[in-house]
Structure 1
Amino acid sequence: MHSLKDLPTANPPGLTLWPPPGREDVRDALCGATLPSLRKGAKVGTGAPRRIAQLLAVRPDLEIIPIRGNVPPRLKKMETMGLDAVVLAVAGIRRLGLDEAIGELLPLDLFPPSPGQGALGIQVRQSSTKLQEILSSVGDTAVDAQVRAERALLAGLHGGCSVPVGAHAETGPEGSLSLFAQVTSLDGTRRVEGKLSGPVVEPEKLGAALAEELIGQGARSILDAIRGESAVSR
């Protein structure tokens, strides 16, 4: 089992991805403060390019401090590093019973999560029929459609967990599926976004279509510039 947001969009040979058994809250949380309460030039800890880009798009005055590690050590860094706040996934916070650390749940229209955030990634050997039988009753088909659409969008953009792509799919009435996505430059100055809806039985088609729409708006040039900067820094 993995956090689905951290899994590559292509499975290794011999493995298949099983439908997740439900999904935790997909949002990010600001811990230690709320956005309106942060002073000008406040220090906010996060190492995720997507979160950095989204924060700077809303609050360009913030000083972003790179941090890594598990949830408790990251929260501790507000004290040890003198940070005003840190950004973490709500799913991880709640699974550890640390809800009291949440200062603000960040809105999905400005801070769409990483594709697959909040869902478990269950990889199963294609040859393991016994295990597939055991898991056959636990998968949530609605969540499966959501994450498949989000991951198809990411694949269409040729992105991964190191690029600032946010996506959030929701299942609706009468077999519908909607997908919202956003691509933001690392400095927060450029942002493209879009939303499409389609049949819940065609999540990959929906994700690919929205990826093409975002590319038409300039998403590829944003991502190419980020990849170029990363190559130079290495």
Structure 2
Amino acid sequence: MAVSELIRIATRSSPMALAQVERVRQELTALHPGVRTEVVPVTTSGDRWQGALSELGGKGAFTKEVDALLLAGRADLAVHCVKDVPADRPLPAGTTWAAFLKRDDLRDALVHPGGLTLDELPPGTRIGTSSVRRVAQLSTSHPHLRCVPMRGNANRRLEKLDAGEADALLLAVSGLERIGMRDRITEALPLETMCPPIGAGVLALQCREDDSETIEAVADLGDADTWREVTAERMLLHVLQGHCNSPIAGYGRAERGGRLSLRGRVFSPDGKTVLDAHEWAGPLDPATLGTSVAVALLRQGARQLIDAIPH
């Protein structure tokens, strides 16, 4: 790659998104010392809107403006949290994934100013979250707690907690680490207690399909195990055709011997119905594993459960 090469990186303009881009810039510079990068920030409709995401058409509200910059040629690379990228439809035509960075912590974190763990919270404690996935699982495991809607980026939610709008928060461990707020974590919740969203803890790099130079420049930032895990997870979500109001959770795990496992869970919004599937694949194609786990959930009634939820 030429030393003068410039890579323009499109991103949401929240503090976390900018921190994520900084990580990519550092890794890219370490790999290609001659490369120059320029950040092209955009405030998305999802960032501006404080109501329910379903009213904006779901998770695509966080990505479509970034996609537009890429497709218009005003940026060469987009950095996304995989969990924010819809999997029920393909990536915008003309774009492709160039790399999935090594996965960070996939757990959810409890933030409680008094230092209590989830099991220690008294009845009626207000938990700030707008995630249907978190609400459903808390309704199952801790029905005595009360979820109160809370949107906004992680910094904004922490401000709302400090202002007394909730008694505790649930946020992603990886997100708090990225914005330098790991010290706010009271408890990292086990995956058995709070199954993560599809793509948790993974940053993805998206390019135009025809931009072979940029694809080649960033491809080595990718992690092979993370690629396998995310491919299986996103195929699971794609086959289930979940929407932003359907509480779906799951995670893949690549093991040293090459085995890959995938856990998938679908909940009713009130947490009263829980469907669960967990399968392993050896050298099996990750997408086939994702399909297989989705079919196991569909056999348990996932289609009827998802379709019954308004969106």
TM-score range normalised by the length of the shorter chain: over 0.9
Equivalence map 1:65-84=2 (5 Å):
65-84=148-167
Aligned to 1:7: 85
Contact 1:154 1:160 in 2 (8 A): no
C-alpha distance in structure 2 between counterparts of 1:103 and 1:205, whole Å = 38
Q: Which runs of 5+ in 2 are unaligned?
A: 1-78
Of 197, 218, 221, 1:114 maps to 197
Is the 1:114–1:161 contact (alpha carbons within 8 Å) kept by the matching residues of 2? no
Aligned residue number for residue 52 of structure 2: none
Q: State the identity as a percent.
A: 37
> How big is the shift at 1:225?
1.5
TM-score of the two chains, using structure 2 as the length reference = 0.71
Choose the corresponding residue for 2:288, options 197, 202, 205. Answer: 205
Unpaired segments ≥5 residues, structure 1? none
Higher relative contact order by CA 8 Å / sep ≥ 6: 1 or 2? 1
Q: Name the amino acid aligned to 1:16.
A: T
- 1:164 offset after TM fit, Å? 0.8
2:101–2:204 contact (8 Å) kept in structure 1 = no
Could you tell me how far apart the structure 1 residues matched to 2:162 and 2:222 are? 40
Max Rg structure:
2
Which residue number in structure 1 is paired with residue 97 of structure 2? 17
Are positions 1:89 and 2:167 aligned together? no
Q: Residues 99 and 206 of structure 2 are in contact (CA less than 8 Å); yes or no, is this contact kept in structure 1?
A: no
Q: Is the CA contact (8 Å cut-off) linking 1:6 and 1:161 kept in structure 2? A: no
From 104, 125, 128, the equivalent of 2:208 is: 125
Q: CA RMSD in A?
A: 1.3
TM norm structure 1: 0.93
Structure 2 counterparts to residues 135-214 of structure 1, below 5 A: 135-200=218-283, 202-214=285-297
Please give the per-residue CA displacement for 1:116-164, whole angstroms capped at 9, x wherever unaligned.
1111121111100110110122110100000111101001110144421
Tell me, in whole angstroms, the C-alpha distance in 1 between the residues paired with 2:186 and 2:205.
Answer: 31
1:26 aligns with 2:109: no
1:5 alignment partner AA = K
Separation in 2, partners of 1:161, 1:24: 23
The question of whether the paired residues in 1 share the 8 Å contact of 2:129 and 2:148 is answered with yes
Q: 1:18 to 1:201 in 2, by over 3 A?
A: farther
Supply the AA of the counterpart residue of 1:208.
Answer: T
Q: Report the Cα distance in structure 1 between the residues aligned to 2:246 and 2:97, rounded to whole angstroms.
A: 22
Displacement over 3 Å in runs of 4+: none
